[in-house]
Amino acid sequence: MKRFLDAYGEDLEFGQIQMNYLDWSFQDAKGKADLLKQFDIPIWVMEPLRGGSLSKLASEYEERLTMLRPEEKIPAWGFRFLQSIPEVTVILSGMSTYEQLEENIATFEEERPLTQDERKCLLKIADEMLVKKTVPCTACRYCTSHCPMELDIPRLIGLYNEYTVTGGGFIAPMVVGVLPENKRPSACIGCKSCEQVCPQQIQISVVMKEFSDALK
């Protein structure tokens, strides 16, 4: 990214990056934000709620946040976090229902940046979530069009995450077990074509091998 900015930074009107409180450390959104700040480039944010995964948290996390801001809904915490970063000028948030649209409008009617203690709590929750070692796939599906085996990679990664979070469980093995042999993680040939277009820079071939080995 720095090489690109060194070459073209002076011509950029903004820099669009994936940023949310989970990716602040996991995808080094902080480092990217600091770099854009050095070049005095405004930040446009995509995936502020990480594909909706941050719109609902585990009950233990929601309780901790609600204690700090009883009136704030959980999705709003993702936006308040971004409001705490002065360089962020645009936040792009996908919405699938009219209710979500209304909630987002209500949230952005005012700016309520997080206090230092609130920010510390939110980032601690993010660190705890990352301990679960889930793969940060947002199901953009760029990978699927580059897979010579035509694997449904986002679905397989979702099953991998299910398997990892539950420490095995029965759901992932059961679902993979009913897939055709040529559509299972073991069918991955490790060509890495998918990895070349993955916005999250996921080592998909490694994930497929680990998943396949775990299911043996």
pLDDT, tens digit, 9 for 90 and up, residues 72-98: 999 999 999 999 999 999 999 989 899
**Listed residue (159, 152, 149, 144) closest to 198, CA to CA:** 144
- pLDDT for residue 110: 92
Contacts 24+ apart (CB under 8 A), 64-67: 64/121, 64/125, 65/121, 65/122, 65/125
- pLDDT for residue 165: 62
Distance (Å, whole) CA 79 – CA 66: 15
Tokens of 179: 């897939």
30-51 mean pLDDT = 94
**Are residue 30 and residue 105 in the same domain, yes or no?**
yes
Domain end among 106, 130, 154: 130
pLDDT, tens digit, 9 for 90 and up, residues 104-123: 999 999 999 999 999 999 99
**Are residue 22 and residue 123 in the same domain, yes or no?**
yes
CB atoms within 10 A of CB 204: 26
Does the pLDDT value for residue 133 go beyond 80?
no
130-137 mean pLDDT = 78
CATH number, residue 74:
3.20.20.100
**Are residue 113 and residue 151 in the same domain, yes or no?**
no
Distance (Å, whole) CA 13 – CA 82: 19
Of the pLDDT bands very low, low, confident and very high (cuts 50, 70, 90), residue 27 is: confident
Q: Count of domains in the chain?
A: 2
Distance (Å, whole) CA 75 – CA 90: 17
- pLDDT for residue 25: 85
**Are residue 106 and residue 71 in the same domain, yes or no?**
yes
- Domain limits for position 196: 144-214
pLDDT, tens digit, 9 for 90 and up, residues 56-70: 999 999 999 999 999
Domain end among 73, 98, 130: 130
**Are residue 94 and residue 10 in the same domain, yes or no?**
yes
Domain end among 89, 108, 130: 130
β-pairing, 43-46 with 88-91? parallel
**Are residue 54 and residue 156 in the same domain, yes or no?**
no
